Amino acid sequence: MVQKPVVRHFLAEGVTSRGYISLLPDMMTEWERTYVLMGGPGTGKSTMIKMIGLELLDRGYEVDFIRSARDPDSMAGFSIRRNNLVMLDLYEIAPLKWRAPGIIERFIDFTPMCDLAKLEHYRSRILELEEIEKHAQKEIGIYLAEEFGEKMRGKMPAVAETKKRPWLPDIYSILNDNEGRDGTWVKAQNALQKLQKSKVTPFFLHGLDCEGWLNLAPHYLTDFDQIHLDGKETSEAMDWILSEAEQLGQIIDMVLHPLYPEEIIGIVFPQRNLAIWQGKPDELKDQGLDRPFSESLKKTLVQYQNTRDLLKSIYMEVIDFSQVDRLRDELLNQILRDLEDLQ
């Protein structure tokens, strides 16, 4: 019997109580080929990512789909981890600095496939909507910090009392500046850095949308043996698991809390088909994610989504999807050639 290839869905970024967190820079060190799609929302990038990813899955490749933190129902990219090949939608991710050496990058701009005269006609409206979108995204981060950031406030450095929100971190912060902190995440990094054969991939399995939290954990863990930890001993048990990983040199997927990204809510050992989880993956209350949103937060989430939909409608009117279809076939063939080279 032919083994079915593995497909996973996760988020490499998160809208948290500490701002917008991107884990992509930590993943970049393994990449060898990257395809970066550029262009406005609604130009077909997410659909292209999904269709090419599914085609590669049908051809026997293991595909990781990267959901958008801004819109978890959309694809921000995919990764072929075994071959270190990645495709990303630049519009859906935080700005990246391509700093990993040796990456071969291909940037594909969808703008030339648009009717440029129509695009120019909508220019002022697009700029207006982009400002509304940017403001709403910032407001979402502020509301999350105000409503759910109490666990982090005692850990934030002291600042002048005149600052309006001294515990609110900068938006677009990166979760790799852990100097001076002593959380579980730091212990995990310190332990795993000692292992030549170990490899850790941190990500999120919960995305924020208008209806609450999109929970990808049950689907992600479907084929894993699961150990569920409950009660006060959970943190101690996680420390023990990490200590064992230090001895065994395991490949580890770490699932971070979507609101408090310094907390680990799950540790997955792909080689051993084992997942250790705080509580039950399908019970949001076990991760403290059952708390209702305020009306202000829900209103801003709806405004943000409506603005995105308006932007998409403009770009869908000006894009030539026949050209996008031809480009998809060209990119698929190029990716298949790259994957042969990376075998």
- 102 DSSP assignment: T
Say if 2 falls within a structural domain: no
Tokens of 266: 């799950």
Per-residue confidence (pLDDT) for residue 169, from 0 to 100 = 38
Cβ within 8 Å of residue 331, ≥6 positions away: 35, 48, 52, 108
Burial of 174: CB neighbours in 10 Å, binned 0-12, 13-18, 19+? middle
Cβ within 8 Å of residue 190, ≥6 positions away: none
- Rounded CA-CA distance 274/226 in Å is 6
Tokens of 176: 């790799």
DSSP string, 270-281: GGGTEEEEES-T
Using alpha carbons, select from 289, 304, 17 the residue that is nearest to residue 165.
17
> Residue 148: which H helix or E strand, with range?
helix 123-148
Tokens of 73: 């129902």
The helix/strand/coil state of 22 is strand
Per-residue confidence (pLDDT) for residue 98, from 0 to 100 = 61
Total count of domains within the chain: 1
Segments in 197-320 forming alpha helices (H): 217-220, 234-248, 295-318
- Rounded CA-CA distance 73/141 in Å is 19
Say if 216 falls within a structural domain: yes
Say if 18 falls within a structural domain: yes
Per-residue confidence (pLDDT) for residue 48, from 0 to 100 = 96
> Residue 37: which H helix or E strand, with range?
strand 33-38
Say if 1 falls within a structural domain: no
Burial of 141: CB neighbours in 10 Å, binned 0-12, 13-18, 19+? buried
**Range of the structural domain that residue 207 is part of:** 7-341
Q: Nearest 10 degrees: CA dihedral of 155, 161, 163, 165?
A: 40
CA 274 vs CA 130, 253, 267, 271: distances in Å: 43, 11, 8, 8
Burial 32-44 (b: 16+ CB within 10 A, else e): ebbbbbebbbbbb
- 158 DSSP assignment: P
Using alpha carbons, select from 220, 189, 222 the residue that is nearest to residue 204.
220
Q: Give the residue carrying structure tokens 């990781």.
A: 64
Q: Look up the pTM and report it.
A: 0.83
Cβ within 8 Å of residue 334, ≥6 positions away: 106
The helix/strand/coil state of 263 is coil
Per-residue confidence (pLDDT) for residue 189, from 0 to 100 = 53
The helix/strand/coil state of 108 is strand
From first to last of its 343 residues, the chain has per-residue pLDDT tens of 445 667 899 999 998 888 888 998 878 878 899 999 999 999 999 999 999 999 999 999 999 999 999 999 899 999 998 899 999 999 999 877 665 566 788 999 999 999 999 999 999 999 999 999 999 999 998 999 888 876 655 444 443 443 443 333 343 344 444 444 445 555 555 544 544 455 778 899 999 988 889 999 999 998 899 988 886 667 677 767 766 766 666 678 889 999 988 888 888 888 888 898 988 999 999 888 988 899 999 999 999 999 999 999 999 999 999 999 999 999 999 999 999 988 7
Residue pair 280/218 in contact by the 8 Å Cβ criterion: no
Say if 122 falls within a structural domain: yes
Say if 91 falls within a structural domain: yes
Residue 31 backbone class (left: φ over 0; alpha: ψ -120 to 50; beta: rest): beta
Say if 31 falls within a structural domain: yes
Q: Give the residue carrying structure tokens 């051809």.
A: 59
- Rounded CA-CA distance 121/114 in Å is 12
- Rounded CA-CA distance 164/147 in Å is 15
Q: Give the residue carrying structure tokens 């150990």.
A: 227
